[in-house]
Amino acid sequence: MRYLILSDIHANWEALQAAVAAASEEGWDEVVCLGDIVGYGADPNRCVEWVRENSRYVIRGNHDKACVGLEDLEWFNPVASRACRWTQTELSSEAADWLRQLPLGPMPAGSNGDRFTISHGSPVDEDQYVVNLDEAAQIEGYLEQSVTFFGHTHLQGGFEYAAGVQRIPGVPAADEGVSVSLEPLARYMINPGSVGQPRDGDPRAAWAVYDPEAGTVTYRRVFYDLHSAQAKILAAGLPEVLAFRLSIGH
């Protein structure tokens, strides 16, 4: 089985389309979505529809719950809360109902005997950012499977737990993909990066493909129609910074 791992799509239809088109060249068996399907971008309904139709395993992200009224927007910065309020008015009732019933991670995933964990933030808390080695080390005791996929930080890369914790980089700027061989005795926290709002300085849409049989995770990046995504954000009256940050990947 090959799993297409998507996270933090953030209502960016152009980025999702480009990622799916590029991933189709190699193919996959099942789609896994780590949450934050909506929020920030201008196409929440289309993105929800695609994930709903295509994903075998989906958990909610903090923006998904906030955009359907399950969380107080006081916790959000002004830009995020403005985008959330806009999304609340834009979402169809069908899309909102579907988002509302999404399970909270961590959640077991995998078919045909494959077993891995998916979470939005950390496996301890869906709102927790796992960015540095210290934060990664603190959650080691909560890793139930050898591989856990997580998102939330919008940073492609991850952590290997073997003799200590080591950082696994994502795709270098000059490349389109990089394959990581998983050691059988190690544990992993793997972040596919953000499809729709990367924050690692690389504006390209990010995702990963997991092949448990081969013991590999392949990180991928692709350019997408950034200008259309930005134009839609501006036309919708969403904060301008949400359009601008897409061009610098931050």
Q: Which residues of this protein are in contact with Zn ion, per CB under 5 A?
A: 8, 36
| 8 A C-beta contact, residue 154 and residue 8 | yes
Closest distance to Zn ion from the beta carbon of 11 (Å): 11
What is the β-pairing status of strands 116-118 and 147-149? parallel
Backbone φ and ψ of 223, nearest 5°? -70, 150
> In terms of CB distance, is 110 or 158 closer to Zn ion?
158
> In terms of CB distance, is 32 or 182 closer to Zn ion?
32
Tokens 């795709």 appear where? 171
Taking CB atoms, the residue at the shortest distance from Zn ion is 36
> In terms of CB distance, is 36 or 211 closer to Zn ion?
36
> In terms of CB distance, is 8 or 160 closer to Zn ion?
8
Closest distance to Zn ion from the beta carbon of 211 (Å): 25
Closest distance to Zn ion from the beta carbon of 30 (Å): 22
Closest distance to Zn ion from the beta carbon of 34 (Å): 9
Closest distance to Zn ion from the beta carbon of 106 (Å): 17
Closest distance to Zn ion from the beta carbon of 188 (Å): 21
> In terms of CB distance, is 36 or 43 closer to Zn ion?
36
9: Cα separation from own chain's centroid: 6
> In terms of CB distance, is 12 or 230 closer to Zn ion?
12
- Taking Cα atoms as reference points, which of 167, 210, 193, 175 lies closest to residue 249? 193
